[in-house]
Chain A
């Protein structure tokens, strides 16, 4: 259990001034955002906006160059591995590709967190697994292997695995990417259903506008490693910021060309890359 702190329980996730650099390039530049308990927060942005990088840092998979991430009231960077592993029992993640273990059946995949981190008997594990599979309408598919599932079913199985420990906070990475509109709408419904049924706080990272507007309580718009705006759906829709409007209206970005810079890029020597 995360230790109780003076912090009011209202915020489940707090990001303050997060800076990420890969080599000389600054990928995230002073990101600050908060996520309230029980809300669906959508982090939206185009390709290269830094949203995947942000997600990796929110999950504590990488160490930032600066700034803090507080998850469930604890500073992620100050936690030991053991504390982090324990905290992660309260956090579920559904990856873009599903990341199901290909050597295990759907049921075994969903049961894995229970089996590895809880002292439960097989019967309880089986019932809890089926409960979650029912929730994502995959009842009866538990003995299939991931390779036998369709794209939408893989995502749903990944959802089930993400929520099997009844987490307080669930991350969804691109839930509707690569799926047809009907299936993606169904997944959106499922996300709302999960929040309503379990009261889970949900963070969705996506570039799909429609889906974002359908499910979000609040939206954070990311562009070039900065937060453009964090607000409710309506407020974001009516936001006057040019770049937000460009994103919403799908206006192609203007390519500004600086003649000197252009020449330098053409003529400079290959930099020596160091792994």
Chain B
């Protein structure tokens, strides 16, 4: 009996691992196709439509601006509060400007953008493609000779790749302004000086670190969302599961990749 339970456990674990590996392989394949179609699509009479990319860019990027601005400003304020309190212990609270600016540009701008996009757009992508799978719309595309990856995935990946870094810039700026809103008081400094100092202490490398992270996170979220959508089986419940999976998986990937990025760029 115990042997049987054990064998079942082993078989389940190995099945889950296999699934993980095959899911990851699918992501890589989708990434490959995302490079393939823009280059070879026109030759196959299936160009990637620029209008589709713009539509996605509106949904993913422009429409996310207000909520992202509020979120990152809040993060900036929180960072400033914590840092003022901590740095006060060492008597160097004037370094808050530097700390907030570096933390936002190197880390939190990209991370907050990724969290918002995973919850807002990655899940929407999974739900959209998932419900298209359920209602046979993907098969309809295939039998029309329209490649679903070219038509649905590539515009999303391109839009994410362009818009995520753009949003990271906004996130950085709003975070620094948020930091300024709190710390100008304790530091006895004007907002103008605060921002000028922030810009002075930042290097190109700091900003680039956040931007390159943003680019990678954006592509990851798009790929995970699409692959979760395509993997939908079994009706509305499947769509719900895929949406959850898209969010959880993309956040997991984002945070692990973030850790690796930070490690290799700073250690």
Contact = CB atoms under 8 A, between A and B. Distances in A.
Interface of A: 59, 61, 81-82, 84-89, 91, 93, 95-97, 99-103, 112-113, 116-117, 272, 274-275
A61 B147 contact: no
Contacts of A59: 143
Contacts, number: 62
* 6 residue pairs, one from A and one from B, having the closest CB atoms: A88-B145, A85-B145, A99-B136, A99-B140, A93-B143, A113-B144
Contacts of A88: 142-145
A160 to B, nearest CB: 13
**In terms of DSSP, what is the predominant structure of the interface of chain B?**
helix
Contact of A272 (B11, B45, B137, B146): B11
B145 A102 contact: no
Interface in B125-162: 128, 131-132, 135-137, 139-140, 142-147, 151
Contacts of A87: 145
Given A85-B46, A272-B11, A275-B19, A97 B147 contact: no
Given A97-B135, A101-B137, A91 B151 contact: no
Given A95-B139, A100-B137, 8 more contacts: A84-B145, A85-B46, A95-B136, A95-B140, A96-B136, A103-B128, A112-B144, A117-B144
A116 B144 contact: yes
Q: Contact size class for B? A: 20 to 34
A55 B44 CA distance: 26
B135 A99 contact: yes
A99 B145 contact: no
B139 A85 contact: no
15 contacts: A81-B147, A85-B46, A88-B144, A88-B145, A89-B145, A95-B139, A95-B140, A99-B140, A100-B137, A101-B137, A102-B131, A102-B137, A112-B144, A116-B146, A116-B151
Nearest to B49: A116
B136 A97 contact: yes
Contacts of B8: 272
Nearest to B147: A85
Contacts of B128: 103
Nearest to A59: B143
B15 interface: yes
Nearest to A56: B139
A153 to B, nearest CB: 16
Contacts of B144: 88, 93, 112-113, 116-117
